[in-house]
Structure 1
Amino acid sequence: MSVSNPTLITFVIYIAAMVLIGFMAYRSTNNLSDYILGGRSLGSVVTALSAGASDMSGWLLMGLPGAIYMSGLSESWIAIGLIVGAYLNWLFVAGRLRVQTEHNGDALTLPDYFSSRFEDKSGLLRIISAVVILVFFTIYCASGIVAGARLFESTFGMSYETALWAGAAATIAYTFVGGFLAVSWTDTVQATLMIFALILTPIIVLLATGGVDTTFLAIEAKNPDNFNMLKNTTFIGIISLMGWGLGYFGQPHILARFMAADSVKSIASARRISMTWMILCLAGTVAVGFFGIAYFSAHPEVAGPVNENHERVFIELAKLLFNPWIAGVLLSAILAAVMSTLSCQLLVCSSALTEDFYKTFLRKNASQLELVWVGRLMVLVVALIAIAMAANPENRVLGLVSYAWAGFGAAFGPVVLISVIWKGMTRNGALAGILVGAITVIVWKHFELLGLYEIIPGFIFASLAIYFVSKMGAPTAGMVERFDAAEKDYNLNK
């Protein structure tokens, strides 16, 4: 392998530390609630950083800096949309969902919550929502494995096949062993590593290019439109990029963090920590891509790999500007971003299979130990399917991430948001919302109507379906009573 020893050693130490955390979490995992939600014991710092790290996958250090490097600040609208969406999700959903899941059968998963919240005796709501999770998240997992493989392939000169297994193995190991606590604790370490990399790198690039004034002049000389946030954009284009923020309301791996918080009181401080982390990370990401324009304009002799693949801008800057040991730490941040998201997605899929299929339909009286081991087995099953999907390097799996994000955002987002703020919502309204949201995304994506990102019509139509179908019936007295009790609990403790 064509690799410098310091980088390899740094990667090995980092991966070993993540697996060690998994074994530490194993000792605190005694039942299914521990494995799926960490026994609802996360404090505000872990809740905040885990929610952030599970959200920001490899695109934070590869995709977004690459887009900024190629097109300038006009690509930063997506970052603005994500910040707004994440803040509103923390504000309106986080605390209420934490309380509502506890009052509705101490639900451990989203399908479990929907089934209890709307007294769905048929199991239809549980099955449909669990199927949506499994389909979209298996694609999501495959995309994470591809991103990890690309990192190992380019950093260590491995073959794609070897890199595929090397990138996936560590994540599978600590998720399998330690479950939710391992995922959350490692997410906290990974979030710290990511923010360190994204604050340090743009500062060093700025110094290497001669300071702020020199850097900005070089960027302007390359193309004055790099500073123009409206370059090559349309109203629909900006709305589509901002629309990514709507996805937060329906992402199961992020919502699971809210459900696992130790109390509603933790949510407010977790929100402040998480939003500060997110804003700093996204600002650093934009800065890496933007300042990279100046650096590679001044050093065209080393710009070859970035011109060939602009998503390598962070990787190349880390290799060129830092001591190999520090570069190894910075490159580990990319692995951290990939691993933190992939581990959450594996666990949510495992949770859906274990809690919503195995326990509900096959083994209602299964022991807690049996359920934990079934959960671990399901992590392996989903991971192997995802690896099989990612095995062909020509697969355009990464392009499906925006599709999966839209699918979750439109199918679950309106249902989750409205279910925690409106007691008049009914079971049929929830079912209509999931189906209309998912179908709209699929149809809109297929026909590429108006050039508008499919999450926006999906979210709007699903919300309207929930309202009008709910108005055709009425919630039961039990549903209203539990909602009021949860809302009272939330207002007393927030």
Structure 2
Amino acid sequence: MTLTLLDWLAIGGYLLITLLLGLYFRGRSGKSTEDYFVSGRSVSWWLAGTSMVATTFAADTPLVVTGLVYRQGIAGNWLWWCFLPSGMMTVFLFARLWRRSGLLTDVQLAEIRYSGKPAAFLRGFRALYLGLLMNCLILGWVTKAMTGIVSTTLGVSERSALAICVLFLMPFTGIYVTLGGLWGVLWTDLFQFVLKMGIVIAVAWYGVSAVGGMSSLVRKLAEMRVAAGNNAGDITAFFPDFSRPLTAEPLWTLPVLAFVVYLGLQWWAFWYPGAEPGGGGYIAQRIFSARDERNGLFSVLWFNIAHYALRPWPWILAALAAVVLYPHIQQPENAYMLVITQHTPQALRGIIIAGFLAAFMSTIATQLNWGASYLVADFYRRFLKRDGDEKHYVMVSRLATLLLVVVSAYVSAQLGSIVAGWQVVLTIGAGTGGVYLLRWYWWRINAWSEISAMATALVVTVILRWVTPLSGSGLVLFAKSALVTTAATTVVWVIVTLLTKPEPDDVLVKFYRHVRPHVSGWQPIARIASDVQPSRDLGRNLTCWILGCAMVYAALFGIGSLCFGHLLKGFGLLLIAAFCAAAISPLLKPQGGPQLRRAPAA
């Protein structure tokens, strides 16, 4: 790809805007760690929610979706569509609880929910595990993907592209994150999200146009299916082919077993960045930054609507066009970049590259700020230096951000030797989700519940991978491993919970008073704290959860149906989505307690 002076000006203009935003918010972020990490808890829902959407739109996301569609059809996207129930559960069952907790990071929950050395160990361990190990692996993975994009667009070697990412893009992102804190991250995310969405819509438009339009695209895909015979499914189907055997893996079809595991197990049992069971990570950080419970809830609601219903189709349409344009490519993920380099106008190349920079930097920025919050608030301040002033901790926070830049740059440079380790880390959290959900709603969960769940998942993952591997390949093997790991982990943590002592009454009473979870699972504690008005909103919240899932899935498939010209089906599904939204609205109003308290605007 040859870049003109205008292309370089577009790229330079984008970088300048992000730097200016970081400089602008330097004063607001430097007052305290609360300002640096959660923006003084004064963020509106639309800004916090859009930042979540921007963070989950990494540079490699369109490429990954292209690979899924190329191999398993549109239904392959259930790999991540299945996390919607988890996201909606965070909206209606956990967002208000997180906001009431008043925490700086979700890891701090360990020491307000549990007590003693087990709680302290859990907090410190998770701070290092998530803030350093997992965070740097995520940063390294995203950087590795960006390396391929830079190599393709600039026509340089992989080594030179890696140097550009490691020595320029990551340090540059670290600079504006270090200067602006979360305020800088939020506003650059907003700018970057608008830019990224404009780019992917344009790529989808030009990709489909290169095929001859939507009608031509659908016709050619149907012809390719006929040519492939019975060994191919319908690439445009939204669901797997249930008429096939559970473990069948024909072309353009998601195995039914994988779909069952995704939708029946993965969303609640697996820890996944941005879709943690019960909320957590940078999702919790954005909730903490919201100005009140109402803004916290609506920020996550907007995130789930935009993430699952509004954003996927430009990626999917470009991927379908790539299937027709490049039917025999060995690395399907690269087909997305070929659509860009061969079918978009030369005048847009600089803006497109700026869009990929935005996708890369928005994810990097959040991971840096979020990871530094763990290292400083949950490890350094908690275990190493407890008597510093706020200026000291802000300075250490900025140093921690720079440390993450250096470590993640090293990880990305070495990623070729640790890809297998990264894949293992993704499965280590299988089965732990039940604890993360129930710790809010059942008083009997204790620190040993979480510790035993994490340890069991790790041990079972190692055994299945290196000692007695299960039969099968690809998605089928993953599905079997997930079932075994989740079952073993769940049995162990339930037994450990029942055999160990509950947390002390004073700790549980303090947590109950502060967070006010639904009373049913806290009856023994509610009797002690009889002066606290009990919350009885679980049934209403579960109703909202079901309606919310139906709303977003109906909108997702309604928009998809309209894209393929199925007008009656598309508008019918959108009407269902609108009905669900109307049904949710009155249920969100406060009933019997301060469920959605408003705070003064900051």
| 2:51 matched residue in structure 1 | 50
| One-letter amino acid of the structure 2 residue matched with residue 475 of structure 1 | E
Identify which of structures 1 and 2 has the higher relative contact order when contacts are C-alpha pairs closer than 8 Å and 6+ apart.
1
| Cα distance between partner residues in 2 of 1:142 and 1:378 | 17
| Cα distance between partner residues in 2 of 1:258 and 1:167 | 28
Change (3 A) 1:271 1:330: same
Displacement of 1:21 in angstroms is: 1.5
Change (3 A) 1:470 1:260: farther
Which of these two proteins has the greater Rg computed from alpha carbons? 2
Equivalent residue of 2:387, what SS? coil
Q: Does 1:115 align with 2:111?
A: yes
Q: Percent identity?
A: 16
Change (3 A) 1:177 1:196: same
| Cα distance between partner residues in 2 of 1:431 and 1:4 | 56
For the aligned residue pairs, the C-alpha RMSD in angstroms reads 2.9
Q: Does 1:424 align with 2:444?
A: yes
**Aligned counterparts, 1:440-451, within 5 A:** 440-446=460-466, 448-449=469-470, 451=477
Q: Does 1:482 align with 2:514?
A: no
Change (3 A) 1:425 1:70: closer
**What does the per-residue CA deviation read over 1:60-111, in whole Å, with 9 as the maximum and x for residues that have no partner?**
2112113323443342221421334333333333222222x32xxxx32233
Equivalent residue of 1:249, what SS? coil
190-199 or 349-358: bigger deviation: 190-199
Q: Does 1:175 align with 2:277?
A: no
191-200 or 457-466: bigger deviation: 457-466
| 2:294 matched residue in structure 1 | 265
Displacement of 1:369 in angstroms is: 0.8
| 2:83 matched residue in structure 1 | 82
Q: Out of 264, 284, 297, which is 2:314 matched to?
A: 284
**Aligned counterparts, 1:227-376, within 5 A:** 227=236, 229-230=240-241, 232=250, 233-242=254-263, 245-246=267-268, 247=272, 248-249=275-276, 252-278=281-307, 279-296=309-326, 307=329, 309-376=331-398
Change (3 A) 1:139 1:471: same
| Cα distance between partner residues in 2 of 1:461 and 1:128 | 22
Displacement of 1:115 in angstroms is: 1.9
Equivalent residue of 2:186, what SS? helix
TM-score (normalizing by structure 2)? 0.72
| Cα distance between partner residues in 1 of 2:236 and 2:413 | 39
Displacement of 1:364 in angstroms is: 0.7
**Aligned counterparts, 1:32-181, within 5 A:** 32-99=33-100, 101-102=101-102, 107-121=103-117, 123-133=120-130, 134-158=132-156, 159-164=160-165, 165-181=167-183
**What does the per-residue CA deviation read over 1:252-305, in whole Å, with 9 as the maximum and x for residues that have no partner?**
2333222322211013432342122112222322221012223446xxxxxxxx
Displacement of 1:484 in angstroms is: 2.8
Q: Which runs of 5+ in 2 are unaligned?
A: 227-232, 242-248, 472-476, 517-533, 538-592, 597-602
31-40 or 401-410: bigger deviation: 401-410
Q: Out of 386, 389, 400, which is 2:408 matched to?
A: 386
* Contact kept in structure 1, 2:288 and 2:296, CA below 8 Å: no
Change (3 A) 1:50 1:460: farther
Displacement of 1:372 in angstroms is: 0.9
| One-letter amino acid of the structure 1 residue matched with residue 3 of structure 2 | V
Displacement of 1:129 in angstroms is: 1.4
480-489 or 139-148: bigger deviation: 480-489
| One-letter amino acid of the structure 2 residue matched with residue 471 of structure 1 | L
* Contact kept in structure 1, 2:3 and 2:349, CA below 8 Å: no
| Cα distance between partner residues in 2 of 1:335 and 1:407 | 31
209-218 or 323-332: bigger deviation: 323-332
Displacement of 1:173 in angstroms is: 1.5
| Cα distance between partner residues in 2 of 1:198 and 1:465 | 45
| 2:498 matched residue in structure 1 | 471
**What does the per-residue CA deviation read over 1:196-230, in whole Å, with 9 as the maximum and x for residues that have no partner?**
33334323433342332211111222334334644
Equivalent residue of 1:262, what SS? coil
| 1:210 matched residue in structure 2 | 212
Displacement of 1:410 in angstroms is: 5.1
| Cα distance between partner residues in 1 of 2:442 and 2:414 | 46
Equivalent residue of 1:288, what SS? helix
Q: Does 1:493 align with 2:595?
A: yes
From the two aligned structures, give the one with the greater helix fraction. Answer: 1
| One-letter amino acid of the structure 2 residue matched with residue 23 of structure 1 | L
TM-score (normalizing by structure 1)? 0.87
| 1:452 matched residue in structure 2 | 478
